[in-house]
Amino acid sequence: MRKKIRPLITLLLIVFYFLLISACTVVKIGDEKSGNEGEYSTWTKTGTGFQAADYVEDIWDDKLLPAYIEHATDYMTVISALQENREAAIGQYGLTRKTGEPFYIFKVQGIAVVVNFDDSSRNGVIYVDSMPVDGIVDATIQVGPVIRGTVIRDSVEFIRFTDVGNQLQFADLANELNNRMKKDYINPLDLNQIKGHTISFLGAFRLEKEQSLDDVIITPIKVTLMDSLDG
């Protein structure tokens, strides 16, 4: 009796296996889709790749620069307000970001004289004395070639992670924004000759809750030389 049952069980298992296989759908990597489609969504949403350079090209002149021009406050005004009442200044001038530990982004602008250019590291900076000049360094602006951080990306609410789709591409977007700023505004400058010259700047800085104001570094989005390097 047992000899007859065993082949029957084996046959039933084989039939069950093939039924299971036929019920599965094979999906090639890159073909996954969902209903939440957007112009810049990644393959995880639409089956198309997110192109950071295209995204930056679309928003740079039409949305990003206008957002800074409209909302940036004089740098020294913001710093003075933070020194006087940090919480009130954050509420008035800051954009609160709550990814992990909360931090704050401040859009700033100013006119200043370059006191020095420090290229002792790949993250080069210029030290500036804001108008009216008094011979004291008021601000540090990073000029690269390495631009640290994601301040430009994080400085506006219309750049959202949900438009991108994954962490690697969100990081790539931050790098592309930094690169666009360097290409348009830093690379044309002769930084070795810029000491003593007047610039206007538009940018942002990140401030954490307990961070000293002495450690603030501005990431520019636009830097313009206001006098000639030949003068």
> pLDDT by residue (tens digit) across 143-198?
999 999 999 999 999 998 888 878 899 999 999 999 999 999 999 999 999 999 99
> pLDDT by residue (tens digit) across 122-138?
999 999 999 999 999 99
- When the pLDDT of each residue in the chain is averaged and rounded to a whole number, the result is 85
> pLDDT by residue (tens digit) across 36-79?
444 554 444 444 678 899 999 999 999 999 999 999 999 999 99
Q: State the pLDDT confidence band at 18, using cuts at 50, 70 and 90.
A: low
Give me the pLDDT at residue 44, please.
46
First vs last C-alpha separation in the chain: 107
Per residue, what are the HEC states of the chain?
CHHHHHHHHHHHHHHHHHHHHHHCCCCCCCCCCCCCCCCCCCCCCCCCCCCHHHHHHHHHHHHHHHHHHHHCEEHHHHHHHHHHCHHHHHHHHEEEECCCCCEEEEEEEEEEEEEEEECCCCCCEEEEEECCCCCCCCEEEECCCCCCCCHHHHCCCCCCHHHCCCHHHHHHHHHHHHHHHHHHHHCCCCHHHCCCCEEEEEEEEEEECCCCHHHCCEEEEEEEECCCCCC
The more confident residue out of 8 and 89 is 89
Give me the pLDDT at residue 23, please.
46
Indicate whether 29 pLDDT > 50: no
Q: What is the CATH number that goes with domain 51-225?
A: 2.40.50.420
